[in-house]
Amino acid sequence: MTATLSLSFQKASSTIEYPCVVTASSGEDGIILSAAAQTADAEGEGALSRAATEAEFKAKSGSSLVVRGAKGTVILIGSDADLDAGKDAETLGGKIFSAMSGAGLSSANLYLDADEEVLADLAHGAHLASYVFKDYFTKGEQAKIKEKSLAIYADAASDAEKAYGARAELAEGVFLARDLITEPANKLYPESYAERCEKLAETGLKITVLDEDAMRKEGMHLLLSVGQGSRRASRMVVMEWQGGAKDEAPIALIGKGVCFDTGGISIKPAGGMEDMKWDMGGSAAVVGAMRAIAGRKTKRNVVGLVGLVENMPDGEATRPGDVVTSMSGQTVEIINTDAEGRLVLADVLTYAQTYYKPSKMINLATLTGAILVSLGKEYAGLFSNNDDLSQAIMDAGAATNEKSWRMPMGKAYDDMLKSHIADMKNIGGRLAGSITAACFLERFVDDVPWAHLDIAGMAWADKSSPTVPKGGTGYGVKMLTKLVETDRD
């Protein structure tokens, strides 16, 4: 993992050093140059305003224009006069980073008159945009890490620098999640994944790893049934953060960590199967969020639990039709071994409730292809037994640009899981696949507010957006961190 941008915050000055990034906003009769942009324009003998006119530059937020003047390169970037802190400022930061890259600049000075929250969010957005994963290139341009630096000049610089500290911790969590998602399955498998989690003890998290024997003792046969066809042993990792009062019930964050999903005996088609290395995206969101929460010293109790398995088809693998007893005692007829994520999550949900009595539980999983059909790559599917928790998740998602959309549940869907031979089947049939998957999980939830996010559409980006480069997104880290920090009961 590498963040390729180093940031600094500097006291505002009336002089400009080049290369620079200056802003303009759109007014009623044309664009309005900021004071710094006017200085750059004057020093360049009007080159900036001439170029803006020629290009019919409208100063829409994030749009940019590069001018190579006598004194140096100037990037003029559109910014709303009343730019808000939060995701809009982050997006602008991401666009500034890509404008720098586009102009071939390895360093730049940004002059922006804004408050510390806006500046810190903007810096955070630029930092998030600068992530690259180059561990496996050995030669040529691709192997080179091109470091960039951005100095932000503003009156509020020193307050912005302070405010930025907590964002940097959040970014560490996002980058960790992106790394885990991007790693191929021959490098990241349950044991190596658990070892990487153990390293997080440095941040103040208490880490416990359960091996197969320990899970067998707990009766976690559903989780174990998924991993039993693999040469790789399964693991569960528990990460505890004690930031709140001793007696405060923790919030439980639970993640699906299928390090590779071949489908098992119900094997998937070959085309695109490589994508199933990121079938641990839910667990990555949880691990990343725990890293961020610890780094930020969040004043709440939180427990993160991830079930780590590999779904492979060998002679020990689960057969379609096998009946397996869960940790909860309920039995499951496994009709399709490719519906494995819910089996892993079911036992982790039971474990979380048994040992942590959480105030609420949120699980994340790349659970169904069907959620991509429903919601595409804009929203995660949200399924919950609780309106307040749902609203809080949607609000935290809207604020962090990690959006979710609530889907229906209910008895009619749940009935689709009836089995002739066991308490339930692991699939519902052709219709409403994401919903029946959620209903399956709900059968393992006791009387506690619970939400399930199906992030199959969100964990991986096929194209870059301002603060999320193409590849593993780290979706969920920002939303979960926000949710935990705004949780008030």
The residues annotated with a catalytic role in the active site are 268, 342
CB-wise, 358 or 472, nearer to ligand BES?
472
Interface pattern 330-359 for ligand BES (x via CB under 6 A): ------x-xxxx------------------
DSSP 103-166: TT-SEEEEE----HHHHHHHHHHHHHHTEE--TT--SHHHH----EEEEEEETTHHHHHHHHHH
Q: How far apart are CA 221 and CA 469, in angstroms?
A: 38
Binding at 368: pick from Mn ion, ligand BES, Zn ion, none (beta carbon under 5-8 Å per type): ligand BES
Question: For Zn ion, which stretch binds (CB under 5 A), given 72-80, 251-259, 289-297, 409-417?
Answer: 251-259
What does the block give as tokens for 128? 């998030």
Name the minimum Å distance from CB 177 to Mn ion. 20
Nearer residue to Mn ion within complex by CB, 41 or 338: 338
Query: Least distance to ligand BES from the beta carbon of 366, Å?
Result: 4
Name the one range near ligand BES by CB under 6 A: 138-146, 157-165, 228-236, 365-373. 365-373
The residue from 7, 194, 251, 258 that contacts Zn ion (CB under 5 A) is 258
- Nearest-angstrom CA–CA distance, 377 and 369: 11
183 binds ligand BES (CB under 6 A): no
Beta strands at 471-472 and 460-461: parallel, antiparallel or unpaired: antiparallel
Q: Which does residue 370 touch among Mn ion, Zn ion, ligand BES, none (CB within 5 to 8 A, set by kind)?
A: ligand BES
Shortest distance, position 196 Cβ to Mn ion, whole Å: 23
Beta bridge partners of 281: none
Residue 181 binds to ligand BES (criterion: CB under 6 A): no
User: Both tokens of residue 143?
Assistant: 């192997």
Q: Which residues between 304 and 363 bind Zn ion (CB under 5 A)?
A: 341
* x/- track of binding to ligand BES for residues 445-484 (CB under 6 A): -----------x----------------------------
Selected binder of ligand BES within 22, 345, 370, 394 (CB under 6 A): 370
Query: By the 8 A CB rule, do 464 and 383 touch?
Result: no
Q: From the list 116, 261, 310, 347, which residue makes contact with Zn ion (rule: CB under 5 A)? A: 261
Query: Which residue, judged by CB position, is nearest to ligand BES in the bound state?
Result: 369
Minimum Å gap between C-beta 311 and Zn ion is 7
Which residue carries 């960590």 as its tokens?
Answer: 257
Per CB under 6 A, does 192 bind ligand BES? Answer: no
**How many residues in the shown chain lie near Mn ion by CB under 5 A?**
3
Partner interacting with residue 332 (select from ligand BES, Zn ion, Mn ion, none; CB below 5-8 Å by kind): none
Which of 90, 333, 338, 414: binder of Mn ion (CB under 5 A)?
338
Interface with Zn ion (CB under 5 A), residue total: 4
Check if the beta carbon of residue 368 is closer than 8 Å to that of residue 376.
no
Q: How far is the CB of 195 from ligand BES (least distance, A)?
A: 24
Which window, 71-79, 151-159, 354-362, 366-374, contacts ligand BES (CB under 6 A)? 366-374
Say which entry of Mn ion, Zn ion, ligand BES, none residue 191 contacts (CB below 5 to 8 A, set by partner kind).
none
Listed in sequence order, the residues at least 6 apart from 304 whose beta carbon sits closer than 8 Å to its beta carbon are 237, 238, 239, 240, 241, 252, 253, 254, 255, 286, 287, 289, 290
In the complex, minimum distance from the CB of residue 254 to Zn ion, in angstroms, rounded to a whole number: 15
Task: List the one residue from 279, 333, 414, 442 that touches ligand BES (CB under 6 A).
Answer: 279
- Residue 348 belongs to what H/E stretch? helix 341-356
Task: Kindly give, in sequence order, each residue whose CB lies less than 8 Å from that of residue 365, ignoring residues fewer than 6 positions away.
Answer: 255, 256, 281, 282, 341, 342, 345, 452, 453, 454, 455, 456
DSSP 41-95: HHHTTTHHHHHHHHTT----TT-EEEEE-SS-EEEEEE--TTPPTTHHHHHHHHH
The residue whose two tokens read 């693991």 is 235
Asked, as a colleague might, if the bond just before 469 is cis with ω within 30 of 0, I would say no
Name the phi and psi angles at 153, rounded to 5: -100, 120
- Does the protein bind ligand BES through residue 262 (CB under 6 A)? no
Count of residues of this chain found to bind ligand BES when the rule CB under 6 A is applied: 15
In angstroms, rounded to a whole number, what is the distance separating the alpha carbons of residues 238 and 480? 17
310 binds ligand BES (CB under 6 A): no
CA–CA separation, 294 and 27 (whole Å): 44
Is residue 103 a contact point for ligand BES (CB under 6 A)?
Answer: no
Provide the binding-site residues for Mn ion, judged by CB under 5 A.
261, 338, 340
Chain residues in the site for Zn ion (CB under 5 A): 258, 261, 279, 341
